[in-house]
Every structure is written in structure tokens, then in C-alpha cells.
Homo-oligomer: A and B are copies of this chain.
Amino acid sequence: MLDKTQLIPENTLITNSPEEGRALAVKIARLTIKITQPNAEIRDQLRPVYANDAAMLIAIGQTVALEFSTISKANNYWR
């Protein structure tokens, strides 16, 4: 439990590759939802709502794109 982070896994934006950076973007987007709705049961109920709704899937895509923009810059685009 020591020094455990809730919002940014491993407390860093630096990753080894674009793929890992993208996975981090997905993860931190989900962790924001978790902190806003801490009840796991309610989150479980909401999951099928957005996973089956075209508009919400697109909105999730926009969120991930925003997070990935930040992570990509942090990693100097893995150039």
C-alpha cells in the first residue's frame, strides 16, 4: 500500500513505446472515471451503457486522444 498511486500508474508519464503510451492513456482515462464514481457496482452498471452506445464510444475516443497527446509529448513522441 506504500506510496500507491490512484490516478497515474507508477506515477510516471514515460513509457517504452507508443503502444505502451497509448495503453497508459486508456488507463488514466478510466482512473478519472473511477475517482469520480468510486462505487464499483455502479461503474459495472454503466460499462454496458457506454460500450453499446456509438456516441459514447466516440466520446471515449476523444478523451483517449487528449490523454495520448500529453503522454506523446512527455515521451518526445518516442522519436
Residues of A within 8 A of B (CB): 5-8, 11-14, 17-19, 21-23, 26, 28-29, 32-33, 35-37, 42, 46, 49-70, 72-74, 77-79
Contacts and interface: CB of A to CB of B under 8 A. Distances in A.
A33 B29 CA distance: 14
Contacts of A51: 36-37, 42
- Going nearest first, the 10 A-B pairs with the smallest beta carbon separation are A74-B77, A65-B66, A7-B22, A8-B18, A50-B54, A49-B54, A5-B19, A46-B54, A32-B61, A58-B59
Contacts of A37: 51-52, 57
Contacts of A68: 67, 70
A47 to B, nearest CB: 8
Given A8-B21, A33-B61, 12 more contacts: A8-B17, A11-B19, A13-B18, A29-B61, A32-B60, A32-B61, A32-B65, A36-B57, A42-B51, A55-B59, A56-B58, A72-B74
